[in-house]
Every structure is written in structure tokens, then in C-alpha cells.
Chain A
């Protein structure tokens, strides 16, 4: 079946450090892939997405490239800020009913 696996957290970084959060997926066909972010006490917001192989999604300095050969969609940012502290979810779009399948989430804490 379809599934998403993320690296476990929490991840603690110093401000301006490089961030990578790994995400791999299992799916039939060619799903679209998403990263959502959840700030403390809030709902999820779309961070970026990619809809086909080799697409790169980007937003707010974050990037992720859809790699079909490795079934991965790793999230990266070159220089994190304290305001990036949040929980990050990788998700796969299962087109029947437009349903999303989420990874377990990775908590990021950025220290000044």
C-alpha cells in the first residue's frame, strides 16, 4: 500500500545551520508529494509541493526535489531561523478522493 516514512525527531539546530529532513515513500503509480508545516498551536499549512519526477518545490527558503529513482522527497534549507521551529510533515497525494497520506512528522527546534 501507499505509505510515507520520515526521519524521526526531534531535530535541534542552531540558527543559520543547514537543515535536511528525510522523507521516503511507497506508492503505486506517480503520486504528488507535499511538505506541510505545523507551527505550535496551529493547523497545518502547505509549505511546498511537487507533482512529477524531478520537479523541485520551493518556498520560504525551503526546497525539496521529487526523486522517483530513490522514492524520496527530502526537505532542505540552507540557513534555518528560530521562526522555523515547527513540526514538518511529508505527505503523498492519493488521488482517489484527493486523500493525503502523511508521515509521522518531524519536530524541528532552532536555538538562537
Chain B
């Protein structure tokens, strides 16, 4: 099992450009999450999904969109990138169950110039 994978690992964008980050999991997990990690701020939830075809906003959703067309994939889109979106992005997944852990991908480092 590959677990949770993220594509790409690194990306540099110019302000105003768009891109999509792909998260894939092979554990048949129902729930998936997108976080951003910034120095001194821990991880903050952007969007999440509790099942195929569903999405919901997290703590910092502005400027991002997501889609969960297939159970194993969760896409994070930036329509018009801004320097404030420079961050490390992590995807995570978990199965149903009250206290089940989240499994994290290796991260995508995004720089917006």
C-alpha cells in the first residue's frame, strides 16, 4: 500500500496563476482533508470531505476549491494564486470511527511569487 500520496511535491507559481494539487489514498478511507502548514501556526484545515461527492469548508477555505469525484482522490484547486498562499500543503485521510487517526501525505511545498 502506498498510503496517502500527493502530487506534485514542489511547485512555484506566479501571482494569478492557477493549479490543482492531487491527493490519492489507497486505504478505502471515507474521510479526506486538506491542511496548510505555516511557521508558528501549526496545521490549519482548508476543506474536508466525509465521502465521495461531498465537500465542506474548514477553518481557512477562502481562495481554495476542492472536489471529491472519486473516493480515493481529493483535489485542491487554487484559481488565482496569491503570495499569501505560499505554504506547505498536507492531505490526510481516515476511516469512519470516533477516534480513528488521520494518515498524512508527504506534503506539497508551494511558493507563489
Contacts and interface: CB of A to CB of B under 8 A. Distances in A.
A51 B97 CA distance: 12
Chain B interface size, under 10 / 10 to 19 / 20 to 34 / 35 or more:
20 to 34
A45 interface: yes
Given A34-B101, A43-B105, A43-B106, A99 B43 contact: no
B22 interface: no
A interface majority secondary structure: strand
Interface in A18-42: 32, 34, 36, 41-42
Given A44-B104, A105-B42, A97 B31 contact: yes
B48 interface: yes
Contact of A99 (B41, B58, B100, B104): B58
Nearest to A32: B99
B40 A99 contact: no
A40 to B, nearest CB: 11
Interface in B75-99: 90, 92, 94, 96, 98-99
B42 A97 contact: no
Interface residues of A, number: 23
B112 interface: no
Interface in B34-72: 40-45, 48, 50, 56, 58
B106 A42 contact: yes
Contact of A32 (B44, B98, B105): B98
B4 to A, nearest CB: 7
A46 B31 CA distance: 17
Counting from the closest, the 6 A-B pairs by CB-CB distance are A43-B104, A102-B42, A46-B101, A104-B42, A44-B104, A102-B43
Given A44-B43, A98-B50, 5 more contacts: A36-B104, A46-B102, A51-B98, A97-B56, A98-B100
